[in-house]
Copies of this chain bind each other. A is one copy, B any other.
Amino acid sequence: MPEKVIPDIVVGRLPIYLRSLQRMLAENRHVTSSQELGERLGISAAQIRKDLSQFGEFGKQGTGYSIDFLADQLRQILKVDRVWDIAVVGAGDIGSAVARYQGFANRGLRVTMIFDNDPDKIGIQVGSFTVKDIANLGPTIVKAGIKIAMIATPSKEAQEVADQLISAGVKAILNYAPINLTVPEHVHVQHIDPVIHLQRMTYYL
């Protein structure tokens, strides 16, 4: 039987549900409902129930969801019930901030190395990492078996860095450079550009 294809927009909401559930657990909560989750997230309860039903039966009508169980299930679905190593490329302001970011802990992700091409940056400490020479990017990524990278280089270097990462086996790239990356179909890319988010809001002002 072929696996059911889940719309990417649904997949995109699961991490938001998981984040909210983990927050409830931190508040020592153990049961919730699609209504409560929806109110916290500004998403309708019906949408949440529909999204979750794509993956199975996680709650009972009237008794709500066990937060621990649902969070566990979402971690498995999103494959963050393990820990993925991440390489950061670019040790400027953004790359350094991301490499030092504490928010990856307990969310299935950790930065394990950071690269730059600037001789003044190679060898310095960024958080707990020593900045590596980008000249060794490919072999280092291959050897470490890294599948996920974040690009925080200037725009003009981002595509070439992406090509190198992909050649070295990277399958998912989070790109902070404000250009659109072109990648093969088997590689996943997400972009973070604060201007894109801000301009989406200025429209309404």
Question: Chain A interface (Cβ within 8 Å of chain B)?
Answer: 8, 11-12, 14-16, 18-20, 23, 40-42, 77-80, 84, 86, 93-94, 96-98, 100-101, 103-104, 107-109, 147-148, 150, 155, 171-172, 174, 178-180, 182, 188, 190, 192-205
Contacts and interface: CB of A to CB of B under 8 A. Distances in A.
A104 B203 contact: no
Contacts of A204: 11, 171-172, 188
B20 A180 contact: yes
Chain copies in the assembled complex: 2
6 contacts: A40-B180, A94-B97, A108-B199, A172-B204, A192-B192, A192-B197
B12 A200 contact: yes
A202 B198 CA distance: 26
Given A14-B199, A15-B196, A200-B190, A171 B96 contact: no
